Amino acid sequence: MAERSITLEATISALAEQKKYPALRDILVTMNPADVAALFDELEEHTLPLLFRLLPKDQAAETFVEMDTDTQELLIRGFSDSELKEVVDELYVDDAVDLVEEMPANVVKRILRQADAETRKLINEILKYPDDSAGSIMTTEFVDLRPTMTAVDAIKHIKRTGVDSETINTCYITDNGKRLIGAVSIRAIILAEDEEPMADVMEDNVISIGTLADQEEAVSMFTKYNFTALPVVDGEGRLVGIITVDDAMDVMETEATEDIEIMGGVTPIDKPYLKTSAFQFWKSRIPWLMLLMISATFTGMILNHFEDALAAVTALTLFIPMLMDTGGNSGSQCSVTVIRALSLGDLSFSDLVAVIWKEIRVGVLCGLSLAVVAFGKIMLIDHLLLHNDGVTVLVALTVCLTLALVVLVAKIVGCILPMLADKLGFDPAVMSSPFITTIVDALSLLIYFCIAQQLLQL
């Protein structure tokens, strides 16, 4: 993919240098707008406006939508007012909203000035919805039909208004009060008898979502019901917009990325890796690092408290990293599984007891298998092979008993914390690997020294 773009980019740049505009246009019009956009993102600043002007009007608008924010801004700053108006007129409302949200204030002003009054009103309405709400990702362009329209009427209506609608695959039936009463696929309309009224063809149990619902809820409705569009209604049940499946997929991808980043202890950045500056990465990573480093004070205090025990049996120190790592890994395995199940809706807080009970059994199984192998390993490698006299059978027993207990405790902590966070309305992804590791580390050390005190009579 990347390689093809590079060669193509070179060809295009060369043609642009030689001012072979007809050849350039011929190449560009055969390409998909997403590919043209990817190409344009790589171009040098001075060739960009030139090439963009070669595109036919509708391809230009579609390409514009797919470009990086930086490239869009560059283009807009170079546009004359009439050029800007041409692009803005061709944009779907939801794409125009995205654009307005991303651009700096002075560019936004220019865009809104060029949009016609109706579009400006629609953009402002969508902008009112909170971030991450269903309303904020919907488009207000859809086909609505009346229940009394026949199939022939409906197709006429679609022909008249459909060009402006982002998807006509599903049309919606509204009553006189604009309330959503049914949905009908374009397929059903085509397959219907000519004179059949929409009321007979439509599906009358329409599933819809409120404007203020979370966008993640919208996505899970797409995956559950296999929709290609989801109607959005206001508090009175009036149809105000639709969410299209391509936007749902984008949200799904973004949410998965956010979950993954939060699980890795990073504040999500909504930008491609190479476009993010080192300083931005620093800002997104340092809070967790700082917090976790400072909370490691506890592990230091525990070690401090048991300094005499460590001095008496120095061999105990050797196994601290292994115990801490294994505990951390056990806990994060469990938290990752539970966090993902929560976000897919497979688990809810009411399952807490079942989950704990399952993790206890998994913990016992994992703990015992690890302890047995660790005991063999310690006696064989540390005791026999490395001739470490400090590593006695009793020390090995202490380590393995701790290991089994730590794994068990880690599994329990790893499942309870995310579920609790979810219940309290936090993002459960926060309760993942880095956080769990810090807690489990402190617990591991406590367990280790308590067992050591008992077994080794310290």
358 binds a second copy (CB under 8 A): yes
Residue 128 Cβ vs a second copy, minimum distance, rounded to whole Å: 25
Nearer CB in complex with a second copy: 113/305 = 305
99 binds a second copy (CB under 8 A): no
384 binds a second copy (CB under 8 A): no
**Which one of residues 11, 18, 297, 453 is an interface residue with a second copy (CB under 8 A)?**
297
Residue 130 Cβ vs a second copy, minimum distance, rounded to whole Å: 21
The three-class DSSP label of residue 390 is: coil
Q: Which of residues 25-44 bind a second copy (CB under 8 A)?
A: 30-32, 34
Nearer CB in complex with a second copy: 21/298 = 298
**Which one of residues 210, 377, 412, 451 is an interface residue with a second copy (CB under 8 A)?**
377
366 binds a second copy (CB under 8 A): yes
70 binds a second copy (CB under 8 A): no
Q: What is the DSSP string of 102-169?
A: HS-HHHHHHHHHHS-HHHHHHHHHHHHSPTTBHHHH-BS---EE-TT-BHHHHHHHHHHHGGG-S--S
The DSSP bridge partners found for residue 214 are 133
**Where on the phi/psi map is residue 43: left (φ > 0), alpha (ψ -120 to 50), or beta?**
beta
Distance (Å, rounded) from C-alpha 222 to C-alpha 244? 9
384: which DSSP letter? I
Backbone angles phi, psi at 214, to 5 degrees: -70, 140
**Which one of residues 51, 74, 341, 413 is an interface residue with a second copy (CB under 8 A)?**
341
Residue 442 Cβ vs a second copy, minimum distance, rounded to whole Å: 8
Residue 17 Cβ vs a second copy, minimum distance, rounded to whole Å: 24
For strands 239-244 and 170-174, give the pairing: unpaired
Instruction: Find tokens 């980019």 and name the residue.
Output: 9
- Please report, for residues 62, 113, 261, 307, the alpha-carbon distance to residue 434 in angstroms, rounded to integers and kept in the order given: 42, 48, 12, 26
**Which one of residues 11, 148, 317, 454 is an interface residue with a second copy (CB under 8 A)?**
317
312 binds a second copy (CB under 8 A): no
Nearer CB in complex with a second copy: 121/305 = 305
Nearest alpha-carbon partner for 208 in 236, 225, 244, 232: 232
**Which one of residues 11, 128, 282, 384 is an interface residue with a second copy (CB under 8 A)?**
282
Residue 109 in contact with residue 137, Cβ under 8 Å? no
Long-range contacts of 380-386 (CB under 8 A, 24+ apart): 382/318
Site stretch for a second copy (CB under 8 A), options 43-51, 113-121, 175-183, 368-376: 368-376
Sheet strand arrangement including 144-145: 144-145, 170-174, 180-185
Q: Which of residues 220-249 bind a second copy (CB under 8 A)?
A: 222-228, 245-246, 248-249
- To the nearest 10 degrees (0 to 180), the angle between helices 320-343 and 393-423 is 20
Residue 19 Cβ vs a second copy, minimum distance, rounded to whole Å: 25
Q: Distance from CA of residue 283 to its chain's centroid?
A: 20
Residue 260 Cβ vs a second copy, minimum distance, rounded to whole Å: 5
**Which one of residues 328, 413, 428, 431 is an interface residue with a second copy (CB under 8 A)?**
328
191 binds a second copy (CB under 8 A): yes
Site stretch for a second copy (CB under 8 A), options 7-15, 41-49, 320-328, 449-457: 320-328
Residue 273 Cβ vs a second copy, minimum distance, rounded to whole Å: 4
Tokens of 167: 């998807």
Nearer CB in complex with a second copy: 1/117 = 1
**Which one of residues 163, 194, 236, 457 is an interface residue with a second copy (CB under 8 A)?**
163
Residue 171 in contact with residue 186, Cβ under 8 Å? yes
